Amino acid sequence: MDKERLIIMSKLAVYDKNYGEKDKAAGKYFRTDYVYRKNMWARLYVFAGCMLLVGLYALRLFVVEGQDPFAVDYAGVLMNIGAAVLAVLVVYTLIGTKIYVSEYNRSQRRLGNYMDLIKLLNDMSGTGAVPTVGTGSVPVVSEFEQGEPERGTDLYYAGNDSKLL
């Protein structure tokens, strides 16, 4: 085995171990869908945290300070709380969008480099076939798989998916 192939296979193994699953999971989505899904979860957690803080504040107000629950102007309180929660959600959404777009772009760049290394490895071996992505090991394409892959096989779908990257 030649030294260059060994170096490439080592790089592929390190990528699979460190980033492979995360990047391939992100690669299943378009960027907007990925960012939307991540932001949706962030918003839900922020909203739940805000509601927990509101509940703790109400508990302190009614239990510790002994304020009468029927003497509170709930409309005014809810407007103030709603405005504060909305402001926090907007801030977290903006910050989250910046973070998740950057994360997605980095993962796509790494995934593209991964595919380039696989192509280089295949070119060095003389096969030129597109291997299945994400098998956890360096793909080896035998001589009988060099032709056009059959429709419905993993190699067929891997070849078509890799063109989308």
Domain coordinates in residue numbering, the chain: 3-162
Maximum pairwise Cα distance, the chain? 83
Give the pLDDT confidence of 17-58 residue by residue, as tens digits: 888 888 888 888 888 888 888 889 888 998 899 889 888 988
pLDDT of residue 90: 92
Chain centroid to Cα 93, Å, comes to 16
Chain centroid to Cα 96, Å, comes to 12
